[in-house]
């Protein structure tokens, strides 16, 4: 009897999880496939080939097609796959929110798009000013605004509007913006999400200091 109840609980949890993933797939908007490439690079580096195989197996269990090995960096994919990939990674490897944030930080260093962007715009001020253009290259929804920059105080603020996807993506982006700034400045950088739509704010806002 106990075993049967445990199986029933497992099935219910599976259905609830599957339902959440299906809702995410219905979100409006698209994202460039480079996120699948950077996720794969991170897992291969941290968990090895066996880890990536486990992740691919879990995706198949939910009927998801996540092309970690064959994704095209500049091809558009449903934006819901961004949080779905993070949720599966968290599920398979037991990562916490800080681990997801670190994934975002490392993604900025793995991305060939970031490397090109930073080399083309050599100053941190120019990168800050051009960040909305770079954002549009990767997301079809939301709007990134550079709202404050002070080179003497060594800080800037980025504001992300009309972008409510999933709380895990907020942690990921916090690390991602830090990673971009670190790559550009070649030094120690901090990034803090000071406002968040999932905490009741109108938009997300990120304070970057170096």
- What is the domain-level CATH number for residue 148? 3.90.1520.10
Confidence bin at 184 (pLDDT 50/70/90): confident
Q: What is the pTM of this model?
A: 0.90
Residues 55 and 124 in one domain: no
Do residues 208 and 157 lie in contact, with contact meaning Cβ atoms separated by under 8 Å? yes
Residues 151 and 191 in one domain: yes
Q: If we measure between CA atoms, which residue out of 112, 125, 123, 108 comes closest to residue 173?
A: 108
Residues 91 and 113 in one domain: no
Residues 169 and 81 in one domain: no
Q: Which residue has the tokens 């999933």?
A: 166
Distances, alpha carbon 194 to alpha carbons 8, 52, 66, 145, 178, in Å: 41, 33, 32, 15, 14
Residues 76 and 133 in one domain: no
Residues 204 and 114 in one domain: yes
DSSP one-letter code for 139: B
Q: What is the mean pLDDT of residues 64-92?
A: 95
Residues 9 and 91 in one domain: yes
Domain boundary among 62, 95, 128: 95
Percent of the chain whose predicted confidence (pLDDT) is above 70: 93
The total number of structural domains in the chain stands at 2
Instruction: Show the domain range for 193.
Output: 108-209
pLDDT at position 48: 98
Residues 89 and 143 in one domain: no
């Amino acid at each position: 009897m106990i075993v049967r109840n445990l199986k029933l609980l497992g099935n219910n949890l599976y259905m609830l999880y599957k339902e959440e993933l299906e809702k995410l797939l219905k979100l409006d908007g698209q994202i460039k496939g480079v996120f699948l490439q950077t996720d794969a690079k991170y897992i291969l580096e941290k968990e090895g080939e066996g880890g990536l195989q486990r992740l691919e197996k879990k995706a198949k269990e939910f009927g998801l097609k996540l092309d970690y090995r064959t994704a095209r960096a500049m091809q558009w994919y449903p934006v819901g796959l961004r949080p779905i990939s993070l949720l599966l990674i968290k599920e398979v490897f037991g990562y916490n929110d800080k681990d997801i944030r670190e994934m975002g930080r490392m993604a900025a260093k793995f991305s060939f798009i970031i490397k090109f962007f930073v080399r083309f715009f050599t100053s941190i001020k120019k990168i800050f000013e051009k960040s909305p253009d770079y954002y549009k290259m990767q997301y079809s929804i939301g709007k990134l605004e550079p709202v404050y920059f002070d080179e003497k105080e060594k800080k800037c603020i980025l504001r992300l509007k009309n972008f409510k996807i999933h709380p895990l993506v907020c942690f990921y982006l916090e690390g991602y913006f830090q990673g971009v700034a670190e790559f550009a400045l070649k030094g120690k950088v901090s990034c803090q999400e000071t406002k968040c739509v999932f905490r009741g704010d109108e938009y997300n806002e990120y304070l970057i200091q170096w």
